[in-house]
Structure 1
């Protein structure tokens, strides 16, 4: 058979997938041709800058073929050898015992009977389900779509995500500049052109743009930093590690001890106050509460002046370097880049990381944030774009199949979870092992600042503890904090049944009683836009040089007996008696697309 080429899209960019005799032979970036729209152009000092006529990929996408055919693929339904749903379950052996292959009928029968048993015995709140932070790309197959519709119709104890990529910005900077729509992260619109035309200095603090790529935007922005270098924009990197972008682009690398970034920031503010080099007009006319901050920096409250010498002992950066950095920053129109989307960075994901995030806002406010060339810009978003063109991301209600009854949305049947009990992802093991647990905030608090102060308790009064846990893709063992607790929770007899639906045999997959094998996005149909997440991160496609909407074509048949997530949930809904509601009256995969 001659080679076939299919379009698809991954978390790391859109691709052409080459298939020969039913097997993927290579994956490559998409090249644009004459039929595609022209590229945007930015003119600086008489020279036109415009991106190449192709898309780029994150490095890991080049290994997608290997991931599809990985020896760790879950190709068939499996059951733990010492798990008997009608007898001994041996939860203490989760993660230890091997598995035996079973049929889809047996797997779905066990799953559906256990769901019915737990619902009937304890109530729907005794069922909980949890997704990974990210998933295979595609609006129909994404976690908020096929998964969300199924469990909202079923009813379950939902688990709030924590903003693990930008904790400090979410819990800190929001209370500094009052901006919660992006969960604490700053806007990035049109800042590439602003930086190229107006900035003189770029400070990348806890930021490695060539590696983090705005999350989903591949290597689209790499050429921007080449242009900025050509335009003589000095680049300073502040990071304990001489990261990959710094190794290639840095004019100066400053390495504070891990966890000491806040002290460095306070010392910079001290120099500006002493030198009188901050923007008083902006501070007086566009900020509130500056005087208490000033008093703290000058040591009026605690008797400790936050001088460069004071910070040097904490950070390991010499007082002379701190002073030189502060003075150069104040003397030039400076863009500050803090992590993958302007408000990320490892400095915000450590103890008291919210203080660093708040200080980043303070520093740029002192220099007149929003003036030409002065802003918080990650250098990976903010390309020119036509915001009048809309295509939904997975975070948009219209971009997923859950539906809210709005006739503009793709689903007519509303799928709203009737269960009010909630859990917080970081507290999941403690909730299983040592309930009750208490916390403040709804996880992603993007509707109001006040959401951060809503109190929650698990279990809610009159609600059962979780008895059946459905894990959907990915693994937090090794990525979350104190993950030995996750193992202990999985092995607790309080969890009577665990289902895992996954593509690969991840660490958490090995904790399941029954495993449902899912296929990759190369083995199903879907649709999505390159890098467009929607929702709280709307217009994330501005991290790309082109806005590319991809019909993700099924390139090969699913490996083994794996199935698409949509098909698995459809079959399970059929066993549970709500297939018609789940499919919204019989919609197929293509109908949803």
Structure 2
């Protein structure tokens, strides 16, 4: 074929990390280029083409050989190790429909766990979480999960402290325009890493986070980065680095509050009029209940931040309009509710709570949060789930391992149902979850696991029935990112492979076999649904005074720009509370900020008392376990991908060391272990071990190593992860009985040089596939 005979097409699409022009040739995507106008585009997109047509792409339905041979069995033990059998669509659909019928008839709908996670697609129609939940609800219901791996502790504790929903702090905290105009100091616990600003749920038209930060600097705002990692802020901010021990943020916050109170620098007016429980909180700070004042000297012994630095920072906070920003990372640890509660308390005492450009905020450096409010695009309609059983999302391994067991959760007592079938579409639990060796054991318990995916990632390898589904580049859709103003058309750049369908196509076919096809589809094609979602979004915007063109115009032009939406559009803002707490109460029992919560206190949880408290983590550098495992592992978000998505892409692969995820390590720690830059090392503790490639850096506090999440899980027969997935090491236990969130940040490890030739990374090798017997 000559170049003249080849067909080249160009379309546009929106991904979680930005808008791109997609070039395809003869049915294959060959390039993604950021659209003009994005001042800080993400480099993740250009690395996607190779993955879309990779050898590990799943191109027809598959069934695990042992499951096909022996039928559904509990504790079968073959998931993740056995070959797969390629089958027809008819065969795969009949097998899946039959299993759903059997489990519902024999065990009830609560025996189905409907797994998904919110990052499966930037498009609003091809959003797998919406698709699977609609399907399973119409089947009669399913056991669901609540909260998120990112913010579980915050999502549960903050409604008790400041009222509102799980995003109430992000929606009411200070925005960057206010900070630039009125603010003077931003102290960020957990930093403001600009890598986290690459991605926005639902996509982003223009990345503006870095620009707003720089405008704040130009306006004279100073920054303080409280984190074990110096690079958690952009160097251009000139932030002061306070490298505390990981997991000790609460102790530092309490000591700062102690200085404000004992030096009479706290905002007495605000805590009297707008807060409840200050007397009890002050008594705790002064050492009344336990005889230990939470003063800087006490905190220095825990955090290793000098007492003089703590006093200086406290006075700085009191003397300036201050934002107390709380990164999402600081809650993913043992007692992760406490730093958020303590951060609210510190902001309440600071004198800036409810004033323009000051007060508490969460995730200020993440995507477009903190720049504006967000419009909401219409979603696929969801019928009620008739099964009342839910689990906190990070308790999936407990659910599978211990049916019938009970746990505390936010004042309730939850009983784990007996899960016989897991149905998963969107997300990768072998990325998100902790202690993957434990999860692998738990994953053998269900009788059947059904998965939708595009690639042979760890989830697909641990399934029984695998439906191959289209990628984001192979579907039409529409997208509007959170806090973004560009409503985008997502055009299909190439058709999916011949035997690949969309999630909607799979669920429609299953619903037809199960007797509710017409109810699931409502007689609409995929194109009809995209139009319907747009029309509903248009009607919703019109109610808010925003008029956008009809669907044909939108689809022809490719996007429509919306006006910026102000923060706090529905009231309940902290400035109104400060002005008149009687007229503008918070949605808490007292109507005020609850520095002491009678509700939480009444739960009687020893691991989450009724006010912000320092509770020693199960693992930290001050614990006896540090004698065996003297390095604290920080498993942060990756720079080169979104979670584990496109780990095989060019951008992610270029950052690997000897094909493995890089481990940041301080030169002093490396020298003590005979480790050099570029070496392959073994990272281990009692839970597991993985290999990683070392990158030496003085931006990491001594005693701390950093291994980003998202390297595809690649276990050797002895359980060693060959690729560098930190979740073979992390602790699988709830933050507390209140939120039961993930505590991955509470992890100690040791690092040694890997002896001999390291084993080859096999994460991207497809499993053995055998043809179905005829």
TM-score by length of 1: 0.82
Q: Which whole-Å CA distance do the structure 1 matches of 2:117 and 2:165 have between them?
A: 23
The Cα shift of 1:173 comes to 3.2
State the match for 2:489 in structure 1: 551
State the match for 1:242 in structure 2: 230
**CA RMSD, Structure 1 to Structure 2 (Å):** 2.3
State the match for 2:398 in structure 1: 430
State the match for 1:42 in structure 2: none
Structure 1 residue corresponding to 2:183, chosen from 194, 199, 202: 199
State the match for 2:31 in structure 1: 26
Change (3 A) 1:287 1:122: closer
Of the structure 1 ranges 157-166 and 96-105, higher mean CA displacement relative to structure 2 is found in 157-166
Structure 2 residue corresponding to 1:479, chosen from 432, 436, 446: 432
The Cα shift of 1:238 comes to 0.5
State the match for 1:5 in structure 2: 10
State the match for 1:208 in structure 2: 192
Change (3 A) 1:360 1:87: closer
1:103 aligns with 2:40: no
Q: Which whole-Å CA distance do the structure 1 matches of 2:52 and 2:10 have between them?
A: 17
State the match for 2:412 in structure 1: 454
State the match for 1:81 in structure 2: 65
Change (3 A) 1:349 1:192: same
3-state SS of the aligned residue for 2:527?
helix
State the match for 1:302 in structure 2: 290
State the match for 2:593 in structure 1: none
> Does the CA contact (< 8 Å) of 1:91 and 1:490 recur in 2?
no
Structure 1 residue corresponding to 2:506, chosen from 554, 563, 568: 568
> Does the CA contact (< 8 Å) of 2:27 and 2:494 recur in 1?
yes
> Does the CA contact (< 8 Å) of 1:210 and 1:219 recur in 2?
no
State the match for 1:522 in structure 2: 473
Change (3 A) 1:250 1:429: same
Alignment deviations for residues 368-388 of structure 1 (CA, whole Å, 9 cap, x no partner): 301122122415523356x7x
> Does the CA contact (< 8 Å) of 1:168 and 1:356 recur in 2?
no
Greater relative contact order (Cα 8 A, min sep 6): structure 1 or 2? 1
Structure 2 residue corresponding to 1:349, chosen from 329, 332, 335: 332
- Number of residue pairs matched by the alignment: 515
The Cα shift of 1:256 comes to 0.6
> Does the CA contact (< 8 Å) of 1:18 and 1:26 recur in 2?
yes
State the match for 1:367 in structure 2: 350
3-state SS of the aligned residue for 1:555?
coil
Q: Which whole-Å CA distance do the structure 1 matches of 2:372 and 2:249 have between them?
A: 32
Alignment deviations for residues 40-86 of structure 1 (CA, whole Å, 9 cap, x no partner): xxxxxxxxxxxxx4364434333222332233322221111222267
Change (3 A) 1:85 1:137: farther
Alignment deviations for residues 524-565 of structure 1 (CA, whole Å, 9 cap, x no partner): 111111x23xxxxxxxx1xx4xx1111111110113522111
Q: Which whole-Å CA distance do the structure 2 matches of 1:157 and 1:72 have between them?
A: 31
Q: Which whole-Å CA distance do the structure 2 matches of 1:348 and 1:325 have between them?
A: 22
Map 1:223-372 → 2, pairs under 5 A: 223-339=211-327, 344=328, 346-368=329-351, 369-372=353-356
Where in structure 1 are there 5+ consecutive unaligned residues?
32-52, 393-398, 404-414, 442-451, 460-464, 533-540
Change (3 A) 1:182 1:58: farther
> Does the CA contact (< 8 Å) of 1:476 and 1:483 recur in 2?
no
TM-score by length of 2: 0.63
> Does the CA contact (< 8 Å) of 2:159 and 2:165 recur in 1?
no
The Cα shift of 1:214 comes to 8.2
The Cα shift of 1:108 comes to 0.9
Change (3 A) 1:59 1:277: farther
The Cα shift of 1:350 comes to 0.4
Q: Which whole-Å CA distance do the structure 2 matches of 1:309 and 1:187 have between them?
A: 36
Alignment deviations for residues 156-201 of structure 1 (CA, whole Å, 9 cap, x no partner): 3222133321233223333332x23235534247722211111111
Structure 1 residue corresponding to 2:464, chosen from 506, 510, 513: 513
Q: Which whole-Å CA distance do the structure 1 matches of 2:305 and 2:188 have between them?
A: 16
Map 1:172-191 → 2, pairs under 5 A: 172-177=157-162, 179-183=163-167, 185-188=169-172, 191=175
> Does the CA contact (< 8 Å) of 1:188 and 1:381 recur in 2?
no
> Does the CA contact (< 8 Å) of 2:113 and 2:143 recur in 1?
yes
State the match for 2:140 in structure 1: 155
Structure 1 residue corresponding to 2:100, chosen from 94, 115, 127: 115
Change (3 A) 1:20 1:280: same
The Cα shift of 1:356 comes to 0.8
> Does the CA contact (< 8 Å) of 2:52 and 2:471 recur in 1?
yes
The Cα shift of 1:576 comes to 1.8
The Cα shift of 1:144 comes to 3.5
